[in-house]
A = this chain, B = another copy of it.
Amino acid sequence: MRGPGQWQHRLRRQGARWTVPRRAILELLSRTSKHLSAKEVYGSLHRTNPGLGLTTVYRTLDLLVRMGLLNKLSFGSGESRYEFRSTDEETHHHHLICMQCGKIIDYTDFVDEEQELVKKIEDSLAKKHGFKINDHHIEFLGLCPECRG
């Protein structure tokens, strides 16, 4: 069971209602591999949902992050970006970012070796600094083929 039915069930289980904006935003983000800002989500949905307000987009994105259905990402550009969070554990990935045009590429190279090292670092940091580590962000910054010239 996947898609709208799954999402609806998940929201309602946590006391949230299944509404038109929530469904529209989830469908949009689940269909794209892009990392969209609130304003971009708003722009994409304005055609099919003319009444939708930007405030609702912000609130819904926030809710869906709290519900674990989306990831919220902050690259240094001012606005937050959101990506669909697959239930599949295998889709964990890191980011390759163009410093000039902002293009974002998901990559999963060397996940095995990476995960091994990440585990080691996590254990070491947890022991040395007393942290309970929950997550990590790894990103590479550079220039994409178009921006290199």
Contacts and interface: CB of A to CB of B under 8 A. Distances in A.
Q: Which 5 A-B pairs have the closest CB atoms?
A: A133-B142, A130-B145, A74-B76, A131-B142, A135-B141
Interface residues on A, range: 35 or more
Interface of A: 72, 74-76, 80, 96, 98-99, 105, 107, 109-110, 113-114, 117, 120-122, 124-126, 128-145, 148
Nearest to A137: B139
Interface of A is mostly: mixed
Nearest to A145: B130
A80 B96 CA distance: 21
B141 A138 contact: no
Given A76-B74, A138-B136, A144 B121 contact: no
Contacts of A99: 134
B114 A114 contact: no
B133 A140 contact: yes
Contacts of A131: 96, 98, 140, 142-145
